[in-house]
Structure 1
Amino acid sequence: MKIVVFGTGGVGGYFGARLAQSGCDVTFVARGRHYAAIKAHGLRIESPLGNFALEAPRIVEDISTVQQADLVVVAVKLWDTDEAARSLAPLVSRGAAVVSFQNGVQKDETLGKHLPRESIIGGVCYIASVISSPGVITHSGTMQKLVFGEYDGSRSARVQAFHAACEKAGITAEIADDIERLIWEKYVFLVGLSGATATIRRPIGAIRTHARTRAFLFDVMHEVVAVGRAKGVRLPADFAGNRLAFCDTLPEGMTSSMHHDLENGNRLELPWLSGGVASMGEALNVPTPRNRTIADILELSADGRVSG
């Protein structure tokens, strides 16, 4: 497969590098200092699964310079999704499929405003990784999993081909029969992890071992489940308990990308995470007091600087 990784951050950089290292045809799209560092010195991955470097990866600043692709992996920040989708239209018109491993549950709806619905594959990822410095992706822990699938549940040739590429690269990967439900399952965990770590400003280990912060984490996730069920997603009523047990299996030092962004003064994906839950809950008349509080607490830092 000809794969384009659109957004070479913690997610796109890590998984794209694994695919490229295994021999896949991968083109990276990056910008700014990160692009310049990769262009000059290559892309370095630091991981408990093994450090490695791509000395001269194929990388561009503008996706319009890419003429052909079988699959585009979208891994830009959520606020860039509209612009990214518009720029992908020429590649999609020439046959490219698109799979987003971004955060949230509204990403594919946004892509679908600009791209044919049949071009979009649903996807979720599980990894803790960040750009630790320009040209360097640091992976925490050993979890590195991609789950993807067609929205109609079919096992198409394109999802099977991508699954084979992931397996060759040593990436844990699954083809999903009900990708919408799995996207929401990830969202429950993601909103809990991001909201709790960013507001409490501690990693998951400390949060899950204290009774009150553990209860807070559970309540945040329970609200997401309630909103999803109100939207018709097939989530079990007790799914927040399932995700809390999953949090107990994580490395104690694990945190979230939103916590990382907060500490580094970067823009936050808050409107699509706890803020998104609060907005959807309000529209559906589902109470979301914990997520509304998280959104309110972090609002002054949401654009990457302290306002006021």
Structure 2
Amino acid sequence: MRILVVGAGAIGGYFGGRLMEKGEEVTFLVREKRKQQLDQKGLLIESVHGDLNLEPKTILCGESAEPFDVILVSTKSYQLDGAIESFRSYVNENTMILPLLNGYAHLDKFVNEFGEERVLGGLCFIEATLDHSGKILQTSPVHELVFGEIAGRKTNRILSLQKSFSGTKAAFTLSENIEQDMWHKYLFITTFSGVTSLFRSPIGPIREHEHGHKTIQILLKETAAIMRAIEAPIDIHIEETQMKRIFGLNYGMKSSLQRDMEKEQQTEADHFFGYLLQHAAEKGIETTLLSAIYANLAVYGAGLVSPK
């Protein structure tokens, strides 16, 4: 199966690298600067599951190539429009598009652009970052990519994709309920990134503090209430499940959104929080904490473009 990975950052580079390691036919669609890094140094992965130094096949946007069987998209939400244009010419009627973005709003965009029949559901669990030299640092035992048909069917194409994804050193899991899995991840990432960005702290000190603990509980409750109001398919006990998961995280773990703030980069505030707040306003749901988190990120974002 011919696989195109859009970008070679921490997520796409890691999972694409593990597929390359297995022997799958993987191509990375990259920008010129990243191509130069990869040409000079290779695709470098430093991981608790074993290091890799690979020589990846790359193409630049606009470069001629035959359509691909599957396209993995793991860009940030604010890069999505550009990413879609960069791979549009590599899509045909049989191409599967597998987005790994957090949240849910992006699915509508993919369906509008390419049609419902081409879009799969997907998400991943991984702690990874790209260092200044372009090396991917993967630092925790968890490295799972979950995928499936939105409707949950075991189609021939999804079984073929499962076969291509199997046998790697990363966990590629076929889900029969990917829509629910995506909403559950959305609830988790909203809470995790929300509190870590608000407190400017890893998760450990937040959950240890009495009021930090309460903040996590309140945010889970607020977010889940919005999701239930719009009939998202979340489990009845999901708040308790996610609370246990948050308390199982490494003490020093930070969210990727928090890391973006530390690097003074743009964040996915609108994609994560703005989307939920819009639905909350339509349903008349009070969102005191979620609104404060969004305001915190909006003020931070305004500071990126204001004179200092």
Q: Does 1:275 align with 2:274?
A: yes
Task: Give ranges in structure 2 of 5+ residues lacking alignment.
Answer: none
2:168 alignment partner in structure 1: 169
Q: Is the CA contact 1:198–1:259 (under 8 Å) kept in the aligned structure 2? A: yes
Indicate the residue corresponding to 2:46 in structure 1. Answer: 46
Matched, 1:4 2:4: yes
Which is further off, 15-24 or 157-166?
A: 157-166
For 2:239 and 2:119, the matched residues in 1 are separated by 28
CA distance 1:128–1:119, change in 2 (3 Å): same
Cα deviation 1:217-275 (Å, max 9, x = unaligned) = 22222222111111112213431221010112222221111111100011101111123
The 3 A distance-change label for structure 1 pair 231 and 131 is same
How far did 1:98 drift? 0.3
Partner residue, 1:37: 37
In the aligned structure 2, how far is the partner of 1:2 from the partner of 1:247? 37
Distance 1:90 1:174, change over 3 A: same
1:113-124 mapped onto 2 (5 Å cutoff): 113-124=112-123
> Structure 1 regions of 5+ residues with no counterpart?
none
Q: Which residue of 1 aligns with 2:105?
A: 106
2:28 and 2:58 in contact (8 A); partners too: yes
Aligned length: 307
Partners of 2:270 and 2:254 lie apart in 1 by 19
Q: Distance in 2 between matches of 1:13 and 1:240?
A: 32
| CA shift for structure 1 position 24 | 0.7
Task: State the TM-score, normalized to the length of structure 1.
Answer: 0.93
CA distance in 1, matches of 2:253, 2:273: 19
DSSP 3-state at the match of 2:120: strand
Q: Deviations over 1:131-173 (max 9, x none)?
A: 1224211112110111111112111222222223332112212
CA distance in 2, matches of 1:250, 1:52: 26
What are the superposed Cα offsets for residues 170-220 of structure 1, whole Å, 9 maximum, x if unpaired? 221222222211110000000111111112111122222222112212222
RMSD between aligned residues? 1.8
In structure 1, what residue type is equivalent to 2:31?
Answer: R
**1: distance between equivalents of 2:282 and 2:4?**
36
Counterpart Cα distance in 2 of 1:303 and 1:9: 26
Counterparts in 2 of 1:301 and 1:45: CA distance versus 1, 3 Å:
same
Compared CA separation, residues 89 and 195, structure 1 to 2 (3 A): same
1:149 partnered with 2:148: yes
Indicate conservation of the 8 Å contact 2:5/2:71, yes or no: yes
Q: Write the deviation string for residues 89-133 of structure 1: whole angstroms up to 9, x where unpaired.
A: 332225211010011111111111211110001111111111122
Whole-angstrom distance in 1 between the partners of 2:6 and 2:106? 14
Aligned identity (percent) is 27
The answer to whether the aligner puts 1:294 opposite 2:296 as a matched pair is: no
Corresponding letter in the other structure for 1:41: K
- CA gap of 1:295–1:169, structure 2 versus 1, over 3 A, is same
Q: Say if 1:46 and 1:177 are closer, same or farther in 2 by CA, change over 3 A.
A: same
CA contact (8 A) 1:64 1:87 kept: no
Q: 1:92 to 1:303 in 2, by over 3 A?
A: farther
Higher mean displacement: 118-127 or 269-278:
269-278
In 2: Cα distance, 1:68 partner to 1:276 partner: 32
Q: Kindly indicate whether residue 124 of structure 2 is the aligned counterpart of residue 125 of structure 1.
A: yes
8 Å CA contact 1:300, 1:307 repeated in 2:
no
The AA in structure 1 aligned to 2:22 is S
- Alpha-carbon distance in 1 for matches of 2:235, 2:48: 34
Structure 1 residues 292 and 32, CA, compared in 2 at 3 Å: closer, same or farther? farther
Query: Aligned in 2, Cα 1:307/1:216: closer, same or farther, shift over 3 Å?
Result: farther
Counterpart of 1:23 in structure 2 is 23
Cα deviation, 1:49-104, whole Å, max 9, x if unaligned, reads 122211x2111231653322110001111112233334443322252110100111
Q: For 2:176 and 2:271, how far apart are their aligned partners in 1?
A: 25
Could you tell me whether the CA contact under 8 Å between 1:9 and 1:131 is conserved in 2? yes
Match of 1:232 in 2: 231
